[in-house]
Protein backbone atom coordinates (compact mmCIF):
# COMPACT_ATOMS: atom_id res chain seq x y z
CA UNK A 1 0.00 0.00 0.00
CA UNK A 2 1.35 3.43 -0.91
CA UNK A 3 1.78 5.88 1.91
CA UNK A 4 -0.09 9.22 1.89
CA UNK A 5 3.21 10.97 2.52
CA UNK A 6 4.82 9.37 -0.53
CA UNK A 7 1.87 10.31 -2.74
CA UNK A 8 1.95 13.93 -1.53
CA UNK A 9 5.68 14.10 -2.09
CA UNK A 10 5.30 12.76 -5.62
CA UNK A 11 2.59 15.28 -6.41
CA UNK A 12 4.73 18.10 -5.10
CA UNK A 13 7.64 16.94 -7.24
CA UNK A 14 5.47 16.79 -10.35
CA UNK A 15 4.02 20.23 -9.63
CA UNK A 16 7.50 21.68 -9.18
CA UNK A 17 8.59 20.10 -12.46
CA UNK A 18 5.55 21.51 -14.23
CA UNK A 19 6.22 24.98 -12.87
CA UNK A 20 9.86 24.76 -13.90
CA UNK A 21 8.88 23.63 -17.40
CA UNK A 22 6.41 26.50 -17.74
CA UNK A 23 9.05 28.97 -16.63
CA UNK A 24 11.59 27.60 -19.07
CA UNK A 25 9.23 27.33 -22.06
CA UNK A 26 9.77 30.88 -23.36
CA UNK A 27 13.53 30.36 -23.13
CA UNK A 28 13.33 27.08 -25.00
CA UNK A 29 11.05 28.63 -27.62
CA UNK A 30 13.66 31.33 -28.14
CA UNK A 31 16.70 29.07 -27.97
CA UNK A 32 15.67 26.67 -30.74
CA UNK A 33 15.45 29.15 -33.63
CA UNK A 34 18.34 31.20 -32.23
CA UNK A 35 20.70 28.47 -33.36
CA UNK A 36 19.62 28.93 -36.96
CA UNK A 37 19.09 32.53 -38.04
CA UNK A 38 19.56 36.20 -37.13
CA UNK A 39 18.42 39.82 -37.23
CA UNK A 40 19.57 43.41 -37.12
CA UNK A 41 20.17 44.14 -33.45
CA UNK A 42 21.48 47.72 -33.75
CA UNK A 43 19.46 49.71 -34.51
CA UNK A 44 17.15 47.01 -33.22
CA UNK A 45 14.61 45.45 -35.58
CA UNK A 46 11.06 45.79 -34.30
CA UNK A 47 10.66 42.31 -32.90
CA UNK A 48 14.23 42.05 -31.59
CA UNK A 49 13.73 45.35 -29.73
CA UNK A 50 10.48 44.08 -28.21
CA UNK A 51 12.19 40.87 -27.12
CA UNK A 52 15.20 42.74 -25.74
CA UNK A 53 13.10 45.20 -23.72
CA UNK A 54 10.30 42.89 -22.57
CA UNK A 55 11.30 39.26 -23.04
CA UNK A 56 11.86 38.76 -19.32
CA UNK A 57 8.72 40.75 -18.41
CA UNK A 58 6.38 40.26 -21.35
CA UNK A 59 3.23 39.89 -19.21
CA UNK A 60 3.71 43.27 -17.55
CA UNK A 61 0.55 45.35 -18.21
CA UNK A 62 2.65 48.54 -17.99
CA UNK A 63 3.90 47.73 -21.49
CA UNK A 64 0.53 48.86 -22.89
CA UNK A 65 1.30 52.45 -21.91
CA UNK A 66 5.09 52.46 -21.97
CA UNK A 67 5.63 50.60 -25.24
CA UNK A 68 2.24 50.25 -26.98
CA UNK A 69 3.51 48.87 -30.29
CA UNK A 70 5.38 46.11 -28.53
CA UNK A 71 2.28 45.47 -26.41
CA UNK A 72 0.11 44.90 -29.47
CA UNK A 73 2.82 42.67 -30.95
CA UNK A 74 3.03 40.50 -27.83
CA UNK A 75 -0.76 40.26 -27.71
CA UNK A 76 -0.98 39.30 -31.38
CA UNK A 77 1.67 36.57 -31.42
CA UNK A 78 4.42 36.19 -28.79
CA UNK A 79 6.32 33.91 -31.17
CA UNK A 80 7.15 36.94 -33.30
CA UNK A 81 9.44 37.97 -30.44
CA UNK A 82 10.65 34.56 -29.26
CA UNK A 83 11.53 33.91 -32.92
CA UNK A 84 13.02 37.36 -33.50
CA UNK A 85 15.61 35.74 -35.77
CA UNK A 86 13.27 33.90 -38.15
CA UNK A 87 11.74 36.66 -40.27
CA UNK A 88 12.71 35.43 -43.72
CA UNK A 89 11.40 34.04 -46.99
CA UNK A 90 12.97 31.27 -49.03
CA UNK A 91 13.41 31.16 -52.81
CA UNK A 92 12.56 34.78 -53.58
CA UNK A 93 15.12 34.84 -56.38
CA UNK A 94 16.01 38.47 -55.71
CA UNK A 95 12.57 39.78 -56.69
CA UNK A 96 11.85 41.29 -53.30
CA UNK A 97 9.17 43.74 -54.37
CA UNK A 98 7.13 40.96 -55.95
CA UNK A 99 7.43 38.78 -52.85
CA UNK A 100 6.69 41.51 -50.30
CA UNK A 101 3.69 43.78 -51.05
CA UNK A 102 3.30 47.37 -49.91
CA UNK A 103 2.05 47.55 -46.34
CA UNK A 104 3.67 44.21 -45.50
CA UNK A 105 7.35 45.11 -45.61
CA UNK A 106 8.04 44.71 -41.91
CA UNK A 107 6.44 41.24 -41.79
CA UNK A 108 8.30 40.05 -44.88
CA UNK A 109 5.05 39.74 -46.81
CA UNK A 110 3.25 38.07 -43.89
CA UNK A 111 5.81 35.31 -43.91
CA UNK A 112 5.77 32.25 -41.64
CA UNK A 113 2.00 31.94 -41.74
CA UNK A 114 1.44 35.48 -40.49
CA UNK A 115 3.59 35.13 -37.36
CA UNK A 116 5.08 38.60 -37.88
CA UNK A 117 1.97 40.49 -39.04
CA UNK A 118 2.00 42.75 -35.95
CA UNK A 119 5.28 44.29 -37.13
CA UNK A 120 3.41 46.01 -39.98
CA UNK A 121 1.21 47.89 -37.50
CA UNK A 122 1.31 51.67 -37.85
CA UNK A 123 2.07 53.61 -34.68
CA UNK A 124 4.68 54.99 -32.27
CA UNK A 125 7.30 52.24 -32.37
CA UNK A 126 10.18 52.81 -29.96
CA UNK A 127 13.15 54.36 -31.78
CA UNK A 128 16.93 54.25 -31.50
CA UNK A 129 18.79 57.57 -31.75
CA UNK A 130 21.02 57.53 -34.84
CA UNK A 131 23.31 60.10 -36.45
CA UNK A 132 21.86 60.69 -39.91
CA UNK A 133 25.28 61.71 -41.19
CA UNK A 134 27.06 58.47 -40.35
CA UNK A 135 25.61 55.25 -39.01
CA UNK A 136 25.88 51.48 -39.26
CA UNK A 137 23.62 48.44 -39.06
CA UNK A 138 24.78 45.46 -37.05
CA UNK A 139 23.59 41.94 -37.90
CA UNK A 140 23.74 39.15 -35.35
CA UNK A 141 23.93 35.91 -37.35
CA UNK A 142 24.32 33.09 -34.85
CA UNK A 143 24.52 30.40 -37.53
CA UNK A 144 27.14 32.35 -39.51
CA UNK A 145 25.22 32.20 -42.78
CA UNK A 146 27.19 35.07 -44.31
CA UNK A 147 25.63 37.38 -46.88
CA UNK A 148 25.46 37.61 -50.65
CA UNK A 149 24.54 41.25 -50.05
CA UNK A 150 22.69 43.72 -47.90
CA UNK A 151 20.32 46.34 -49.21
CA UNK A 152 19.78 49.19 -46.77
CA UNK A 153 16.90 51.59 -47.34
CA UNK A 154 15.72 54.64 -45.41
CA UNK A 155 12.27 56.22 -45.52
CA UNK A 156 11.98 59.52 -47.32
CA UNK A 157 11.75 62.74 -45.32
CA UNK A 158 8.06 63.47 -44.80
CA UNK A 159 7.06 59.83 -44.35
CA UNK A 160 5.47 59.30 -40.93
CA UNK A 161 5.75 55.73 -39.56
CA UNK A 162 3.25 56.63 -36.85
CA UNK A 163 0.42 57.30 -39.31
CA UNK A 164 1.40 55.68 -42.64
CA UNK A 165 1.84 52.06 -43.73
CA UNK A 166 5.26 51.42 -45.24
CA UNK A 167 5.52 50.86 -48.99
CA UNK A 168 8.39 50.51 -51.43
CA UNK A 169 7.87 54.02 -52.81
CA UNK A 170 8.46 55.42 -49.33
CA UNK A 171 12.03 54.09 -49.32
CA UNK A 172 15.35 55.27 -50.74
CA UNK A 173 18.07 52.68 -51.30
CA UNK A 174 21.15 54.15 -49.65
CA UNK A 175 23.50 51.17 -49.95
CA UNK A 176 23.80 47.79 -51.62
CA UNK A 177 26.83 45.91 -50.41
CA UNK A 178 28.90 43.11 -51.79
CA UNK A 179 29.23 39.73 -50.10
CA UNK A 180 30.31 39.04 -46.51
CA UNK A 181 32.05 35.91 -45.30
CA UNK A 182 30.24 33.79 -42.71
CA UNK A 183 30.44 35.37 -39.26
CA UNK A 184 28.20 35.71 -36.25
CA UNK A 185 28.61 39.48 -36.30
CA UNK A 186 28.49 41.59 -39.46
CA UNK A 187 28.40 45.39 -39.47
CA UNK A 188 27.50 47.41 -42.54
CA UNK A 189 29.27 50.74 -42.09
CA UNK A 190 29.46 54.02 -43.95
CA UNK A 191 25.72 54.66 -44.12
CA UNK A 192 24.18 58.12 -44.23
CA UNK A 193 20.73 59.61 -44.72
CA UNK A 194 21.17 63.26 -45.72
CA UNK A 195 18.24 65.57 -45.05
CA UNK A 196 16.52 63.22 -42.61
CA UNK A 197 15.43 64.03 -39.10
CA UNK A 198 13.01 62.54 -36.62
CA UNK A 199 11.33 59.14 -36.74
CA UNK A 200 12.27 57.03 -39.77
CA UNK A 201 12.47 53.36 -40.69
CA UNK A 202 15.77 51.78 -41.72
CA UNK A 203 14.77 48.80 -43.86
CA UNK A 204 17.41 46.12 -44.31
CA UNK A 205 17.27 43.19 -46.70
CA UNK A 206 19.83 40.55 -45.78
CA UNK A 207 20.32 38.00 -48.53
CA UNK A 208 21.92 35.06 -46.75
CA UNK A 209 24.64 33.05 -48.49
CA UNK A 210 23.89 29.49 -47.39
CA UNK A 211 20.76 29.28 -49.59
CA UNK A 212 18.25 31.57 -51.30
CA UNK A 213 16.95 33.00 -48.04
CA UNK A 214 16.10 36.71 -47.65
CA UNK A 215 15.44 38.52 -44.36
CA UNK A 216 13.30 41.68 -44.20
CA UNK A 217 14.02 43.84 -41.18
CA UNK A 218 12.45 47.12 -40.03
CA UNK A 219 14.41 49.21 -37.51
CA UNK A 220 12.81 52.36 -36.12
CA UNK A 221 15.26 55.21 -35.66
CA UNK A 222 15.25 58.82 -34.56
CA UNK A 223 17.65 60.64 -36.87
CA UNK A 224 19.53 63.41 -35.09
pLDDT, tens only, 8-62: 344 344 333 333 333 444 443 443 444 459 999 999 999 999 999 999 999 999 9
DSSP 153-169: EEEPTT--TTTS---GG
The pLDDT, as a whole number, for residue 36 is 58
Asked whether residue 21 is assigned to any structural domain, the reply reads: no
Separation between Cα atoms, residue 209 and residue 214, nearest integer Å: 9
> How far apart are the two ends of the chain, measured CA to CA in Å?
75
Query: Is residue 11 domain-resident?
Result: no
Domain-located, residue 123: yes
Q: Is position 26 within any domain?
A: no
Tell me the pLDDT of the chain averaged across its residues: 88
What is the predicted pLDDT for the residue at 30?
Answer: 41
Between the alpha carbon of residue 176 and those of residues 18, 23, 94, 147, the distances in Å are: 49, 42, 13, 12
Nearest Cα to 37, choosing from 85, 84, 81? Answer: 85
Residue 12 lies inside a defined structural domain of this protein: no
Task: Determine, yes or no, domain membership for 18.
Answer: no
Whether residue 195 is contained in a domain is answered as yes
State the total domains in the chain: 1
Choose among 95, 79, 100: nearest CA to 203: 100
Using DSSP, state whether 44 is helix, strand or coil. strand
What's the domain range around 75?
35-223
Residue 201 CB neighbour total at 10 angstroms:
23
Give the model confidence (pLDDT) of 98-153 as tens digits. 999 999 999 999 999 999 999 999 999 999 999 999 999 999 998 999 999 999 99
72 pLDDT above the threshold of 80: yes
CATH number for position 193: 2.70.50.50
Question: What are the Cα distances from residue 171, in Å, to 15, 52, 107?
Answer: 53, 26, 16
Does some domain include residue 10? no
Amino acid sequence: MHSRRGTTSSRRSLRALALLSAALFPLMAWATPAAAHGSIIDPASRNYGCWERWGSDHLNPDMAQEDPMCWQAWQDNPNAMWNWNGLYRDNVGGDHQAAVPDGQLCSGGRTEGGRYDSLDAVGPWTTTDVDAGAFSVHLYDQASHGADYFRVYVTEQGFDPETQALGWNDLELIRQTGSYAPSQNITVTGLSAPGRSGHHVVYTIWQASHMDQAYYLCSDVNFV
